[in-house]
Structure 1
Amino acid sequence: MKASDLFVKALEAEGVEYIFGIPGEENLDLLESLRHSSIKLILTRHEQGAGFMAATYGRLTGKVGVCLSTLGPGATNLVTPAAYAQLGAMPMMVITGQKPIKTSKQGRFQVIDVVDMMRPITKYTAQVVSGDRIPSVVREAFRIAHEERPGAVHIELPEDIAAEQTSAPLISPTQGRRPIAEYKAINRAVEMIEQATSPVLLIGAGANRKLTAKMLREFVDKTGIPFITTQMGKGVLNETDKLFMGNTALSDGDFVHRAIRRADLIINVGHDVVEKPPFFMEQNGQQVIHINFDSAAVDPVYFPQLEVVGDIANSIWQIKEKITPQQGWKLDFYCDVHDAYVAHRSESEDDDRFPVLPERFVRDIRKAMPDDGIVTLDNGVYKIWFARNYPAFAPNTLLLDNALATMGAGLPSAMAAKLVYPNRAVLTVCGDGGFMMNSQEMETAVRLNLHIVVIILRDDAYGMIKWKQAHMNFDNFGLDYGNPDFVKYAESYGAKGWRVDSTEGLLGLVQKCLNEPAVHLIDCPVDYSLNDQTLNKTIKELSQEL
């Protein structure tokens, strides 16, 4: 058969449902093969949008999301999504085209070394040099993308290779079993937890994969040990739980950091070095148990005393089965932390000032969203407020990026979430800066008849950098800009545009949009002027509050 047909059959064998992307002339054989396949091509308006959609598909499903581009500039536009998936541990495959590699009459026109370009930001990158190699290259790429730690892979399929004939047989996917932790490590972890005075559980990004939530829920229910999450660990356990101490949204000084400093043992589950460390280890007697798929990357501030390496869910289950809750654990302080955290979090939630304050905005979005609704965030200062103030009730219901932390991913992520979960409410929050980086995907969302709500927090500036500029005593310079009329902009794509003109009207408008199937865009002015005041209070005054 034609090599491109074999390539597509290999993708079908791996369970690929969608390919997101923009084909070029170098992909035409592949495009024709896709036309006759079960795979749905989602044509986007920019390769970045395609890559973010593929990465989010991988994040939500655990399967490898696939995106496609042509050579040269199309391929370079997938660099940021590849880095996004790689740092965020999202299984994703990037497929790029290339000029013929056996004979070419166009010299170096549009030709760059895409394979080498992708090497530093992927787990695997390869050029297909023969149709006979397709089955093994595709199988290896999927295997590597999916295995822990998940990430991005890249395959380049040159134009002449795609068109040649091959009789190579497919290589069927196989399901591997992740290794489990050694029993001695499990037993030692049980001993350390039982001997601790004030243990605390820290849930990181790695625990937000592979259905670890069920085992962690059983562990917390049995032991009563309080828990804290990193930003990408949000929602692994229901954050309305009285044992939830908060999220590590700030770098230091928040309620969670007070709780961590009080603990004599930190059970660190799914630690990922891409996230800002929520604590620095010191030689002060505080101990750390590292429970993860992989061993710890030791550095000057992280050198755990015990490593439990293996499938996380199995490790937690084994520890839970063997542990005996101790009467001597001193956990009352954590109850005080929880109560102080909830009280502080709600201080400005009823403030009707307009433009809307971040705390009030987050509260209203939480009120509007159903328990299983999905909120995706672009990148901006509001991400801190959502991480800190938005209780997530289930895994992957608040999708934020605390790894690459790129702007422009919020809208494509919401689109992918709606494709994966068509019956769940999906809403994305973008700053005006981040939204405009991939706003053209509004047309894609309308064309796909997606019911999503896009909220733009408008401050007419790159607000997070402007806030930090002021916080570091620099003069205001170089960060303000103008915006289009976002209501008319939405309507020009065939979407519905709305404008918030009072804080009291925000909640009702969001609820209306969630209930009416369409692509909705809401222009919401936001006031970040209290960021410094509120967050400084968090850092400076918590010791008195506790």
Structure 2
Amino acid sequence: MKKLISYQLVDYLERRGIEHVFGLCGHTVIAMLDALKDSKLNFVSVRHEQVAAHAADAYARITQKASVVLCHLGPGLTNAVTGVATASLDAVPMVVIAGDVPSYYYGKHPHQEINMHCDGSQYDIYKPFVKRAWRIDVPELFPEILDKAFRLAESGRPGPVLISVPMDMFSRELDPVHFERTYHDSHTTVRPALPKETAVEIAKMLIEAKNPVIHGGGQLIYTNASEELIELVEFLDIPVTRTLMAQGAIPDNHPLHVGMTGFWGTNFVNEVSTRADVILGVGTRFAEADSSSWYKGVSFNIPPTKLIQIDLDPIEIGRNYPVALGAVADPKQALKAILEAAKELKPEGIDRPELRKAIADYRAAFKASNVAISEDNRFPMTPQRILKDVREVLPQDAIIATDVGWNKNGVSQQFEITQPGTILHTGGLATMGFGPAAILGAKLAAPDKKVITLVGDGGFGTNPTVMATAVEQNIPVVWVVMNNGAFGTIAGLEAAQYHHSFGTIFKKPDGTPYNPEWAEVAKAYGIKSKKITSAEEFKAAFKEALDSNEPYLLDVPMENIPVPTDGIWNINDIYTPKENVAEGRLVYGEATRSKHVATK
């Protein structure tokens, strides 16, 4: 007996263990809404498709399984672009199911069709950033494409995929026999392991190195490699530097954790990396911010430093630095194999007490340098004071989604994360509006955890409709709006380069400051809220918000203080050229680093 494809698709998602579908209605997907109505799936209806994509992104990060986004064609699909591209650059698995024009109307300009250069090709919009884009042309192939889509999204370097579904396909009747294959297809894919001989070679290089360093990336989190990483570095006493996306892979307070490299890294962290004779890079692309725009001798000095690079994606091996050894492998399995090899080669392990002391002394000095500003009672509050109070109240296993600016760069530099998977950053695309929406998906994935976002007023203002979804779905999250009345990071950059802040400060034509009263806006959405009026008030208000067990917004006036930056970013040299910089490189190499930093 034939059944509607929409109902068989819902059944398929239920069998895959999907619990939530994030999306927004449209005439092309109402057949799916009909099928969802009485299903076990929870349709998380949002007011903007970017919110759906960010929420689904965070849900996938926490569950480590592909999430599902359902959206309309045309503006629905394009509204979701930023969120899906964010997930793509951060390697988050996601399946986007998008309604399309009727298959028999391709090229005729039916309502909301995107048709400029090719008929029936709305899925082309996503091709630059998804792992694969399919269009359903033959209904019998839908089940096969679903299996392929989920497998591809979750395997290798994870990422989003798109299935564009002409609206008539949802309403076609199909014999369930075509879905029989989906009952037999495994939902897991075994990732590649590291050959034993390669593990031995890497272990030997690390043991023989005078100053080895392990530099970790976000794949450590996705592959649950924290335990293996810690065992290896403790056995061989190897210092660990990390990217923004790897925060939490090793506790920020671990005695061998040095910190984040790059533009927002400190001189001590970057110098540990530049002095290394061997670096084992695990699950990282060596992207610009983490590598100080790839200036030689600033965050990395490759060569002469020998680079060993392990990644799930072969295209990342050697992309930005030449490798002495490259391997495509699962980070968790690779680190386990390297540790086993190291124990065979050097059973007694290695002790570097001077290294541990140097890291401890640096950490103590760095914390001491922030004590005064972190405890300052002035108002508007300092960002350091906000972070200190949040850390003292927030449970260690709580989940934080950051956004863009102090709440991301400052958090990754100064806010201790001790458990993997409890901090969600937008790294590759650095998208404003990520945090406020992401916490919706994170809370649905981890209902027993406290979930908050630290977000600037600029980022929160991009899509305050997240509050409507929180009320409708009864999602108890906390938005801490770090309100400096500006797009603060860009205001700081512009002021440093051009000595003004045109276009970055929120104000009226007459120059008077302007910002919505976010606490009042929240109340209009039916959400509890409070505008902080003194530094002393914030900590208790934050605890009240956490304990309320309902959506809560705190509007926290904050000074626009730049995040300390010891690394180098090419943007400074593009806008304010230095005599020792030409075409993205330090002309005189490592010897000029201190001079360059001093003139920033």
TM-score, reference length from structure 1: 0.93
The code of the aligned residue for 1:521 comes to L
Secondary structure of the structure 2 residue equivalent to 1:121:
coil
Q: Are positions 1:449 and 2:481 aligned together?
A: no
CA distance in 2, matches of 1:103, 1:528: 53
Work out whether residues 379 and 534 of structure 2, in 8 Å CA contact, stay in contact via their aligned partners in 1: yes
Q: Alpha carbons of 1:503 and 1:405: their partners in 2 closer, same or farther (altered >3 Å)?
A: same
Aligned partner of 2:571 in structure 1 is: none
- In 2, distance between residues paired with 1:212 and 1:283? 25
2:322 is aligned with 1:303: yes
The CA distance in 1 between the partners of 2:433 and 2:319, in whole Å, is 34
Match of 2:145 among 123, 137, 149: 137
- In the aligned structure 1, how far is the partner of 2:421 from the partner of 2:89? 17
Q: What are the residue-to-residue correspondences of 1:100-499 with 2, within 5 Å?
A: 100-103=102-105, 107-112=109-114, 113-167=121-175, 168-170=178-180, 171-172=182-183, 173-174=185-186, 175-248=188-261, 250-251=263-264, 254-274=267-287, 276-278=289-291, 280=296, 281-282=300-301, 284-295=303-314, 297=316, 301-323=320-342, 324=346, 325-326=349-350, 331=355, 333-346=358-371, 348-481=373-506, 482-499=514-531
Could you list the per-position Cα deviations for residues 115-169 of structure 1 after superposition, in whole angstroms to 9, with x for gaps in the alignment? 1111111001111112211101111111110012001111111111111111122
Write the letter of the residue equivalent to 2:134. A
- Separation (CA, whole Å) in 1 of partners of 2:524 and 2:221: 38
Distance 1:104 1:536, change over 3 A: closer
Partner residue, 2:580: none
The reply to whether residue 504 of structure 1 matches residue 536 of structure 2 is yes
Q: Give the Cα separation in 2 of the matches to 1:197 and 1:343.
A: 30
Structure 2 match to 1:519: 551
Amino acid at match of 2:552: H
Residues 1:245 and 1:207: Cα distance change in structure 2 (over 3 Å): same
CA drift at 1:382: 3.1
Displacement of 1:110: 0.7
How far did 1:330 drift?
A: 6.3
Q: Match for 1:312: what amino acid?
A: P
Q: Does 1:74 align with 2:76?
A: yes
Alpha-carbon displacement from aligned partner over 1:168-216 (angstroms, at most 9, x marks no partner):
2242341221121122211111110110112122111111112111211
* Residue-pair matches, total: 542
346-355 vs 391-400, greater mean Cα deviation: 346-355
- 1:487–1:522 CA contact under 8 A, matched in 2: yes
Counterpart-to-counterpart distance in 1, 2:146 and 2:430: 29
1:77 positional shift: 0.6
> SS at 1:120's partner residue?
coil
Partners of 2:81 and 2:126 within 8 A in 1: yes
Q: Compute the displacement of 1:36 (Å).
A: 3.2
* CA distance 1:253–1:449, change in 2 (3 Å): closer
1:403 and 1:77 mapped to 2: Cα distance?
A: 19
Inter-partner Cα distance in structure 1 for 2:542 and 2:402: 16
* Secondary structure of the structure 1 residue equivalent to 2:289: coil
Distance 1:536 1:362, change over 3 A: same
Task: Tell me, yes or no, if the aligned pair for 2:6 and 2:170 is still in contact at 8 Å.
Answer: yes
Distance 2:75 2:165 in 1: 16
1:217 deviates by 2.1
- Equivalent in 16, 19, 22 of residue 17 of structure 1: 19
Partner of 1:42: 44
Q: Secondary structure at the match of 1:511?
A: helix
Counterpart amino acid of residue 350 in structure 2: Q
Which stretch has the larger CA shift, 400-409 or 246-255? 246-255
Stretch moving more, 9-18 or 450-459: 9-18
Deviation at 1:299, TM superposition (A): 5.7
Distance 2:141 2:246 in 1: 39
Q: For the structure 1 residues 2 and 356, does the alpha-carbon distance in structure 2 shift closer, same or farther, using more than 3 Å as the test?
A: same
Q: Tell me, what secondary structure is at the counterpart of 1:169?
A: helix
CA-to-aligned-CA distance 1:49-70 (integer Å, 9 cap, x gap): 0111111111111111111111
Q: Aligned partners of 2:474 and 2:410: how far apart in 1?
A: 31
Percent identity, aligned pairs only, is 29
In structure 2, the CA distance between the partners of 1:46 and 1:537, relative to structure 1 (3 Å rule), is: closer
Counterpart AA for 1:320: L
Residues 169 and 301 of structure 1: is their aligned pair in 2 closer, same or farther, counting only changes over 3 Å? Answer: closer
Specify whether residues 345 and 295 from structure 1 end up closer, same or farther in structure 2 by C-alpha distance, changes over 3 A only. farther
**1:249–1:384 Cα contact (<8 Å) kept:** no
Unpaired runs of 5+ residues, structure 2, are 115-120, 507-513, 569-592
Aligned counterparts of 1:522 and 1:248: Cα–Cα separation in 2: 31
Give the distance between the partners of 1:447 and 1:390, measured in 2 at CA.
32
Query: Conserved in 2, the CA contact under 8 Å of 1:6 and 1:134?
Result: no
1:92 maps to amino acid: M
One-letter amino acid of the counterpart of residue 245, structure 2: M
Do 2:267 and 2:566's aligned partners in 1 also have CA atoms closer than 8 Å? no
Residues 379 and 474 of structure 1: CA distance in aligned 2, closer, same or farther (over 3 Å): same
Q: What value does the CA root-mean-square deviation take over the aligned residues?
A: 2.5
Cα distance change of structure 1 residues 193 and 519 upon mapping to structure 2, 3 Å threshold: same
Conserved 8 A contact 1:293-1:309: yes
Residue 249 of structure 1 deviates from its aligned partner by 6.2
Structure 1 gaps, min length 5: none
